Amino acid sequence: MRLSRILLSTLVASHALAASANVELLQTPAPQSTHATRNVITNLYPHADGYLLTGERGLMLQWQPDGQWQQLQTPVSVGLTAIATLADGSAVAVGHDAAILRREAGGEWQKAFDGYDLTRLQIAALERRHAELQDAVDNPAQDADVEELEFQLEETGFNLEDTQAELESGPNKPLLSIVAAGGERLFACGAYGTLLRSDNGGKHWELQSASLDNPDRFHLNALIRSDDGSLYVVGESGLGFVSRDNGDSWQAMDLPYDGSLFGIIAQPGSANLVAFGLQGHVLISEDGGESWQHHKIEAGASLLGGTIDAQGNVVLVGHGGIVASFPVAQPDTVTVRKHPSGAAFSAVAVQGEQLILAGQFGVTAWKMN
């Protein structure tokens, strides 16, 4: 399976080199850097008059389009991938090794959860499932397929053993996206089908992976919430889910593409959605995910980040410096530009006549015309 949302080679390499030091990375504050704006940036969010950026080795920045910036102190040195803010001014960030950081309004970032906590939640879930299957095998219903139940029992046992071993080998599952779902509810998703929920602003988390029909544990790459309150998840192998009840239940979406999707965006005040991913594939829905149309940007570069405004103007970015823009109602009229750096871009924002681009070589402002 492809590890999706963070495809930037330097970030993957740095994580691999540090794999033997998971405990230290989760307990070591991010290093301060005088060149922080040139490091790998994974995501950006409008914040005050500028942007809040996440990046490699626990990097978090407050950045202004005029070039001024400040590095924030964070308690971990693993890559951070996404941030969500709540109505009370608090914020929650997620990253590699299932790190979850939380900050009260005006406070400092603190670690609330990590991969060891995730592993314990997964062990508990697998133990419950194993006990249920064992009971079903020992006391089969009249119409039960005992052979299938025995197969599931064996597979669950293997998964349980592997997960128990992770407590010794250390965390290995990045969280790739997080969304605030109203009130104090949050959802976070990531590798190997991981879905987490918090109902108290990120202080405590529950495992929700089993609520998705994802038996192969495909990676979940992006989570969003549209203006009507619907929640959407997209991921590996054309995987997509929607919740119309604030995450209490999830239904699979019928997507017309079976490759990896790395992001999804929702037009403000509209039912329009745009999902995007591997090799320039783009999916568009005009009815809140009930139906989808498949398009492809012929430049062929994988698309990693995007934004859409209230008028339906879409900008997508990705590998090779690609910047693709089009009206959501006319996706075939796409304009493709390439940034001279040739960088892999993971996120984009539009500010006036310029784009704010974040990715492989840091963050930069680039005039569209």
Give per-residue pLDDT as tens, 62-107: 999 888 999 999 999 999 999 999 999 999 999 999 999 999 998 9
Q: Is 280 left (phi over 0), alpha (psi -120 to 50) or beta?
A: left
pLDDT class of 231 with cuts at 50, 70, 90: very high
Question: What predicted TM-score, i.e. pTM, was given to this entire model?
Answer: 0.92
Across 7-27, average pLDDT: 54
Tokens found for residue 128: 């419950």
Give residue-wise pLDDT tens across range 201-228: 999 999 999 999 999 999 999 999 999 9
**CB contact set of 273 (below 8 Å; sequence gap of 6+):** 226, 232, 264, 265, 266, 267, 284, 285, 288, 289
